[in-house]
Chain A
């Protein structure tokens, strides 16, 4: 199993540009999570999906952020327009549904907005 796959691993962009982060969860996992990690705020849950349906997006910072999961094997997190304060590492994680189940994290995308 390849684990959770995220692309790109690094992204450098200029303020105002659109950024799209991609995630492929582990096959068979029906829950998918997007997290953001910064020095100031630590690890924050942005949004999570169950069976491709967004369940809780209360962590999405503002309307510039949007996430989609068009099918069980693909999700995107889009920032439009990007701002320097969006610079962070963005993680995608997946798990089978259930509290006991481990969330498997991808390697993260380091985003730098200049």
Chain B
């Protein structure tokens, strides 16, 4: 079974600064997908960014980018120019290729200081 680990329960960043959230996973598969979801206080789960394991190029979405290290099974999220609205829980998730199931990490609570 796959496992996803987020080793930082909480992180804080100054507004306009950059922060990186860590995620590692364990799998024996070679083809899979990785996601970062954001959960603000409203509880709504929102997709931030996704990465296909077969792609070497790191995904980017505006201020959000990932550092995908397949050999190390690492998938970190970088948030540039942090904004107050980025304050939320962030969940890393693994999706296997064969099935249709997401395995989530324990989450990292991000606080943004004005």
**A interface with B by C-beta (< 8 Å):** 31, 33, 42-43, 45, 48, 50, 55-56, 89, 91, 93, 95, 97-100, 102-103, 105, 107-108, 110
Partner of B101, one of A48, A102, A110: A48
A93 vs B100: C-alpha distance in the bound complex, in angstroms?
12
Contact residues of A: prevailing secondary structure: strand
Contact B100 A98 (CB under 8 A): yes
| Residue in A89, A97, A102, A107 with the greatest tally of chain B CB atoms within 10 Å | A102
**Which residues of the partner chain B approach A95 to less than 8 Å between Cβ atoms?**
100
Partner of A93, one of B42, B45, B91, B97: B45
Q: Does B44 contact A (CB under 8 A)?
A: yes
The total number of A-B Cβ pairs within 8 Å is 50
Partner of A55, one of B44, B100, B107: B100
A108 vs B89: C-alpha distance in the bound complex, in angstroms?
15
A93 vs B52: C-alpha distance in the bound complex, in angstroms?
21
Partner of A100, one of B46, B50, B102, B105: B50
8 contacts between A and B (CB under 8 A): A42-B105, A45-B101, A56-B99, A91-B45, A93-B45, A99-B99, A100-B50, A100-B52
Contact B102 A103 (CB under 8 A): yes
Contact A56-B101, Cβ < 8 Å, known A43-B91, A99-B95:
yes
